[in-house]
Amino acid sequence: MSIKKLAAHLGLSKSTVSRALNGYTDVNEQTREKVLKAAQDIGYKANPTAKRLASGKSRNIGIILPAHSRMFVSSAFSKVLAAAAEFLAKHDYQLIVTTIFDWQDEQQVYFDFITSGLVDGVFIVRTRHLDPRISMLKKHQFPYVCFGFDTDFKNDCFVDVDNAQAFYDLTQRQIKHGHSRIAFLDAPNELTVSQARKQGYLQAMHEAHISIDPHWLLNGELNEHDAMKMTQKIMLLIHRPTCILCADDTMALGAIAACETLGYQVGIDIAVAGYGDYEHSRYTNPSITTVQYDIDAVGEGMSKLMLNKVEGKQFEVKNWHEATIVIRQSDDYFITNET
Amino acid sequence: MSIKKLAAHLGLSKSTVSRALNGYTDVNEQTREKVLKAAQDIGYKANPTAKRLASGKSRNIGIILPAHSRMFVSSAFSKVLAAAAEFLAKHDYQLIVTTIFDWQDEQQVYFDFITSGLVDGVFIVRTRHLDPRISMLKKHQFPYVCFGFDTDFKNDCFVDVDNAQAFYDLTQRQIKHGHSRIAFLDAPNELTVSQARKQGYLQAMHEAHISIDPHWLLNGELNEHDAMKMTQKIMLLIHRPTCILCADDTMALGAIAACETLGYQVGIDIAVAGYGDYEHSRYTNPSITTVQYDIDAVGEGMSKLMLNKVEGKQFEVKNWHEATIVIRQSDDYFITNET
DNA sequence: TTGTAAGCGTTATCAC
DNA sequence: GTGATAACGCTTACAA
């Protein structure tokens, strides 16, 4: 009864009040001022649910995170999300995070989400090759923006870090420092980032004419535990690596722990590097050589693309963000050894 | 037009269809089955926005997280949240996470949130003493549940870990191992958890008749950087501590890094302990002695209390959760030294 | 057991 | 410029 009450209070009709409040031009300026003032005084606030039902717009952007994956807790990713949310907030949009569990059907959850009217668009993370979520979104013509490129993407729907380049650089760095037995603990194969990272690694190895022992190329979840298991495996090989590249810094932490358990001194007996420049990486012992990128720019980019879609804005956005290596102690020895 | 369409399709009225769909008893079972089947076939899905407007209920529970604090990324806390969300999901409620930024007015953001109709209740975290958010929630009689106790709380509105006990135990442990110069890096004073933790620490010290150097009691944000700064400060004192207790494991990580930078060997020259059993704590070198609690139980407890409030459920919930010490290497020496 | 009709608080399309 | 009035898609008395 709220706008009605306000209208009654002012001796105006609901429609006039609505128009005044929503900045339409066909309203007498004095009327508008009166309405605005009264709304202020009376503490009137439009009911978003009603607005949503009437207008079909929610001014919410959603994201669905797997509750039990580390995505929900990865500090780097949370920062991306915070940056995205901040940009949205400045344009009077809200980011809504919701969760999905292992026991739920992904397609169903996404479908329910986009048909709920709760959000005007969704962010997709952990992009997979030929991602079924994206097929569905496309089919229903629902606005989406991905963090993570796939081969058939247009520039208006994704931002990504140049993972291939990052791991090309990282691998090349290790090769330069004398390594040839370089292992790579990659993320799950289904993720597009995994493909990109592996490709960068392979290319650098190939260009240096170093053959790769397939035992050194493993996939696992982005967490310490999986990395530990994988590291134990490869470090017990007779022909074991002298360097381990990890798909992110949590894996690096696990790899380092595994190496130390086995009696290796990381940074001296073996080099380890990660990706993402997670918060812990500069504080651990040894601190972790990693790859960083402009987190805020990525987050903002996602939101800009989203607003381009849902509001017809024309923000320019950079799809690809370069990554740069941050040198720390976990592969320190090989630097010092150099010259 | 959807329920209308479905009704027309079935030759029934909207109300009957609605009742059938929503499990009311005054519906012929055969009719209900027909409706359910038709809904399935036709792919009918009720529009949540319309439902919300009509019923005044959203089946959403909200939480507002400070986007730039570590709360958003603390792995332990995210797990609590995931557990809470999972329990809610099983009762057909959704958890909605949204963000607040430094430049926003907290009262306003909370007010907008609870009056938006988006959520039926809110979770409050980082509870502060005499928290203004809670005053407002109370005033508007909006359902809330806190993670973190304050002195005037009733049992129906909070769950908490027994922080006082945890830090009493932790401090006592260090005293038993011969420490008397025990520093405590606490979280910001305004948080109720900080008070509780400090109280436990003080009590243990007091009971052991150990006087406390006020320089050893510092407050800072729950992150590595603040902890590092504080640690540097206290370790440069002439009368410096032999043990540092930290309000959480990120602080412990920072404290350890600072000690090592200053040339101390953590676990041998100095003991460090944290709180929360964060993911990294078992993988760092040295691994971190910490305090753990039943994360899932806490999360579930929050959701149970919430459903008691918004749905009139009668779940029994345990308000206080005990914490237990997890012994690792960061204060290892003093254990071995014992017997 | 089912149908009718009045909301829920807005926006939007008309006339005026 | 302003005001009726009909949507939006559903719930819920109340009547039948």
Q: Are B82 and B116 in contact (CB under 8 A)?
A: no
Looking at beta carbons, which pairs linking A6-12 to residues 24 or more positions away fall under 8 Å? A6/A35, A6/A38, A6/A39, A6/A42, A6/A44, A9/A38, A9/A42, A10/A34, A10/A35, A10/A38
B47 inside 8 A of chain A by CB:
yes
Please determine, for residue B81, whether its predicted confidence score (pLDDT) is greater than 90: no
Inform me whether the pLDDT recorded for A269 exceeds 70.
yes
Cβ contacts, strand D, under 7 angstroms: A 11-16, 19, 26-28, 31, 50, 53-54; B 1-4, 14-15, 18-19, 21-22, 44-47, 50-51, 53-55
Nearest CB to B78: which of A58, A73, A228? A73
**The predicted structure's pLDDT at residue B1:** 67
Per-residue pLDDT, B43: 85
Q: What is the pLDDT of residues A292-326, one digit of tens each?
A: 999 999 999 999 999 999 988 899 999 999 999 99
Spell out where chain A has E strands.
60-66, 94-100, 121-124, 144-147, 158-161, 182-186, 217-219, 243-246, 271-273, 290-292, 320-321, 324-326
A223 vs B: CB within 8 A: yes
Band (A97; pLDDT cuts 50, 70, 90): confident
pLDDT digits (tens, 9 = 90+) for A183-235: 999 999 999 999 999 999 999 999 999 999 999 999 999 999 999 999 999 99
Q: Which of A48, A94, A223 sits opposite B117 (nearest CB)?
A: A48
Name the residue in chain A with its Cα closest to that of B283.
A257
pLDDT tens digits for range B160-201: 999 999 999 999 999 999 999 999 999 999 999 999 999 999
Min Cα separation A93/chain B (Å): 11
User: pLDDT tens digit string along A22-76?
Assistant: 888 888 999 999 999 999 888 888 888 898 888 888 888 999 988 776 656 667 7
Task: Dump pLDDT digits (tens) for B27-62.
Answer: 899 999 999 999 988 888 888 889 888 988 888 899
pLDDT average, residue stretch B63-86: 79
User: In this predicted model, what pLDDT tens digit does every residue of B207-263 receive, in sequence order?
Assistant: 999 999 999 999 999 999 999 999 999 999 999 999 999 999 999 999 999 999 999
Helix/strand/coil for B272:
strand
pLDDT for A49 equals 87
pLDDT of B335 reads 47
pLDDT surpasses 60 at B115: yes
Mean pLDDT of all residues belonging to chain B: 91
- pLDDT at residue A336 in the model: 46
Distance from CA of B83 to the nearest CA of A (A): 8
Q: What does the pLDDT read at residue B161?
A: 97
Q: Which of residues 105-144 of A touch B (CB under 8 A)?
A: 112, 115-118
d(CA A142, CA A159): 18
> Is the CB of A292 inside 8 Å of chain B's CB atoms?
no
Q: Is B224 on the interface with A (CB under 8 A)?
A: yes
